[in-house]
């Protein structure tokens, strides 16, 4: 039998990219060869996202596009969040799909096992439950809300021992770029009103520091970007009853030039974590704020308010004046009034964060917010999004202008393109650098020009 090839199309967030890398590492390990060519591969895997409505639409569009492009006789496999959450619907509606594999749990045996790649138009649906029990620690108590109390919200979890075939701990190839995402935990113990993630990713299960460090070593990247649904809560589920993000960040920082943290829940910004992040030389804080109106945040079942967030940001700036900040906000959550929106505008103007993402609220099946009244008109949401984006674009551009003439340490990601600690890969702006600089090196350069979110340095 000739060697089979596979191509993977990845949608969604950095966490999905990590899953795809692990799938690639494992499939290559079984003797299959990787291909970039959807049209010629024996197996095409679409790793889907179902976070919000637009992501689901993009996933379906991609599945249909791949089904058109692939060669006759190849197999089309759909994995990821859509396969997990809407597997039955996909199987019923899209006969183009040959195999559905939630989170890839059953994917490798199917793809690399004996047999040819003859097409089967009958969809195989491996409804293997994702096992979301703790990784070796004692069984945990009930799901906890943002303030630590039980939420009373049941999450659709299939508890049990972690299987051998677990995406979190699969091997992956060395990084293709000077930076790489590393997923340190899966799932989430919170119950934010708008979010369906805990219902299908389950409660948090953290990897061990040893497993994470082994992956960091294997990746051989200059910059490691740590990701998880609730990053700062890392470790709390391993039977130790306390977060372990600080020792983890220190351990990773000892191995690589840069370590960056994405998605920090604001109540978890301890002094020790702030100090540790600043000491790594990457004072970049990605705070998951979502809104600033106290009333709306309560309705979102989240911690905090604009004053508390401003105080946290202020204390970080006092500790490290050059700290960079990113945050995300939801616009049009049920019940959002003009007054709430004005509070958010005021906060954005005063906080002067480096980067912000604004997202229209998307109603998700089974979430608390689904039952809330006070849906905000779509046109009004678009107006509010426009106002916020315009304001933030001006702030970002001004902050970038202020950097002209300053020295920056730039990691060269690809010929002519690099990033300082202020820019997370694939999310923030970039720095245009001389083409001659070697990829993977860190260079001290001077910023010569700012162009909106991007910089030029020589
Ligand atoms: S929004 Fe983030 S912290 Fe809240 S439940 Fe979803 S994944 Fe967890």
Nearest to 376 by CA among 330, 425, 430: 330
Architecture of domain 407-457: Beta Barrel (2.40)
Residue 192 beta carbon below 6 angstroms from any ligand 1 atom: yes
Q: How far is the CA of 51 from the centre of ligand 1 (A)?
A: 11
- Cα angle vertex 189, ends 147, 244, to 5°? 85
Q: How far is the CA of 40 from the centre of ligand 1 (A)?
A: 39
Q: How far is the CA of 146 from the centre of ligand 1 (A)?
A: 10
302 to each of 121, 193, 346, how far by Cα in Å?
45, 8, 20
Residue 62 beta carbon below 6 angstroms from any ligand 1 atom: no
What pLDDT sits at residue 153?
A: 25
- Under a CB-based contact definition with an 8 Å cutoff, are residues 137 and 92 in contact? no
Q: How far is the CA of 194 from the centre of ligand 1 (A)?
A: 8
Residue 197 beta carbon below 6 angstroms from any ligand 1 atom: yes
Alpha carbon distance 220, 239 (integer Å): 30
Question: pLDDT (tens digit, 9 = 90+) per residue, 88-124?
Answer: 888 888 989 988 887 644 455 555 443 333 333 334 4
β-pair type (99-101, 75-80): parallel
The correct answer on CATH 3.10.620.30 for the domain covering 5-125 is no
How many CB atoms neighbour CB 151 within 10 A? 18
Q: Could you give phi then psi for residue 119, rounded to 5 degrees? A: -75, 145
Q: How far is the CA of 229 from the centre of ligand 1 (A)?
A: 6
Long-range contacts of 154-160 (CB under 8 A, 24+ apart): 155/191, 155/198, 155/199, 155/202, 155/203, 156/199, 156/200, 157/132, 157/202, 157/203, 158/129, 158/130, 158/131, 158/132, 158/202, 159/131, 159/132, 159/133, 160/129, 160/131, 160/133
Alpha carbon distance 244, 399 (integer Å): 33
Q: How far is the CA of 65 from the centre of ligand 1 (A)?
A: 31
CATH topology for the 167-401 domain: pyruvate-formate lyase- activating enzyme (3.80.30)
- Under a CB-based contact definition with an 8 Å cutoff, are residues 48 and 78 in contact? yes
What pLDDT sits at residue 237?
A: 85
Assessment of whether the complete model's pTM goes beyond 0.75: yes
Residue 146 beta carbon below 6 angstroms from any ligand 1 atom: no
Mutate to test the pocket of ligand 1, among 186, 190, 287, 368 (most ligand atoms within 8 A of CB): 190
Alpha carbon distance 169, 184 (integer Å): 10
Q: How far is the CA of 188 from the centre of ligand 1 (A)?
A: 6
Question: pLDDT (tens digit, 9 = 90+) per residue, 299-324?
Answer: 999 999 999 999 999 999 999 999 99
Q: How far is the CA of 153 from the centre of ligand 1 (A)?
A: 14
Alpha carbon distance 363, 371 (integer Å): 10
- Under a CB-based contact definition with an 8 Å cutoff, are residues 64 and 96 in contact? yes
Residue 188 beta carbon below 6 angstroms from any ligand 1 atom: yes
Name which residue sits closest to atom 4 of ligand 1, judged by CA: 192
Alpha carbon distance 152, 142 (integer Å): 8
Domains of the chain, by residue range, sit at 5-125, 167-401, 407-457
Residue 195 beta carbon below 6 angstroms from any ligand 1 atom: yes
Residues in the chain predicted with pLDDT less than 70, given as ranges, are 1, 103-167, 169, 238-241
- Under a CB-based contact definition with an 8 Å cutoff, are residues 16 and 9 in contact? no
What pLDDT sits at residue 107?
A: 53
Mutate to test the pocket of ligand 1, among 16, 157, 198 (most ligand atoms within 8 A of CB): 198
- Cα angle vertex 443, ends 442, 447, to 5°? 130
Q: How far is the CA of 230 from the centre of ligand 1 (A)?
A: 7
What pLDDT sits at residue 166?
A: 58
Cβ burial 189-223 (10 Å sphere, 16+ → b, else e): bbbbbbbbbbbbbbbbbbbbbeebbebbeebebbb
Residue 199 beta carbon below 6 angstroms from any ligand 1 atom: no
Residue 26 beta carbon below 6 angstroms from any ligand 1 atom: no
Residue 291 beta carbon below 6 angstroms from any ligand 1 atom: no
Q: Which atom of ligand 1 is nearest to the CA of 198?
A: 5
**What pairs with residue 152 in β-bridges?**
none
Residue 264 beta carbon below 6 angstroms from any ligand 1 atom: no
Q: Which atom of ligand 1 is nearest to the CA of 229?
A: 7
Alpha carbon distance 393, 387 (integer Å): 10
Residue 15 beta carbon below 6 angstroms from any ligand 1 atom: no
Residue 151 beta carbon below 6 angstroms from any ligand 1 atom: no
- Under a CB-based contact definition with an 8 Å cutoff, are residues 86 and 50 in contact? yes
Residue 144 beta carbon below 6 angstroms from any ligand 1 atom: no
Largest CA distance in the chain: 67
Name which residue sits closest to atom 2 of ligand 1, judged by CA: 229
């Amino acid at each position: 039998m000739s060697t089979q090839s596979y191509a993977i199309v990845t949608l969604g967030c950095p966490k999905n990219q990590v899953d795809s890398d692990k799938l690639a590492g494992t499939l290559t390990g079984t003797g299959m060869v990787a291909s970039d060519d959807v049209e010629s591969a024996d197996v095409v895997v679409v790793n889907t996202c179902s976070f919000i409505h637009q992501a689901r639409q993009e996933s379906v569009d991609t599945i249909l596009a791949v089904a058109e492009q692939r060669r006759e006789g190849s197999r089309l496999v759909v994995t990821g969040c859509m396969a997990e959450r809407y597997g039955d619907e996909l199987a019923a509606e899209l006969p183009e799909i040959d195999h559905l594999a939630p989170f890839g749990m059953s994917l490798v045996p199917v793809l690399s096992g004996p047999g040819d790649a003859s097409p089967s138009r009958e969809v195989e649906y491996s409804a293997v439950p994702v096992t979301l029990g703790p990784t070796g620690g004692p069984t945990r108590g009930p799901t906890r809300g943002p303030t630590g109390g039980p939420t009373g919200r049941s999450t659709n979890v299939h508890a049990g021992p972690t299987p051998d075939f677990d995406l979190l701990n699969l091997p992956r190839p060395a990084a293709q770029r000077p930076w790489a995402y590393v997923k340190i935990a899966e799932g989430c113990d919170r119950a934010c009103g708008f979010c369906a993630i805990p219902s299908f990713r389950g409660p948090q299960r953290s990897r061990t520091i040893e497993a994470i460090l082994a992956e960091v070593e294997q990746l051989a990247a200059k910059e490691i970007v740590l990701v998880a649904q609730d990053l700062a809560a890392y470790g709390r589920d391993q039977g130790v009853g306390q977060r372990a993000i600080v020792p983890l960040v220190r351990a990773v920082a000892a191995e690589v030039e840069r370590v960056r943290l994405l998605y920090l829940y604001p109540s978890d910004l301890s002094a020790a974590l702030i100090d540790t992040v600043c000491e790594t030389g990457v004072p970049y804080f990605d705070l998951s704020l979502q809104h600033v109106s106290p009333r709306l945040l309560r309705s979102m079942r989240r911690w905090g308010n604009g004053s508390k967030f401003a105080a946290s940001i202020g204390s970080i700036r006092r500790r490290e004046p050059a700290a960079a900040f990113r945050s995300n906000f939801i616009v049009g959550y049920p019940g959002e009034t003009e007054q709430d929106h004005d509070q958010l505008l005021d906060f954005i103007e005063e906080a002067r964060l480096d980067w912000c993402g604004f997202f229209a609220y998307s109603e998700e099946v089974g979430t608390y917010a689904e039952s809330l009244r006070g849906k905000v008109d779509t046109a009004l949401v678009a107006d509010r999004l426009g106002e916020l984006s315009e304001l933030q674009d001006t702030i970002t551009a001004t902050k970038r202008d202020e950097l002209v003439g300053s020295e920056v340490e730039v990691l060269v990601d690809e010929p002519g393109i690099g990033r300082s600690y202020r820019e997370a890969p694939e999310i923030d702006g970039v720095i245009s650098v001389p083409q001659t600089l070697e990829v993977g090196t860190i260079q001290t350069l001077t910023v010569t020009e700012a162009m909106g979110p991007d910089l030029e340095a020589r």
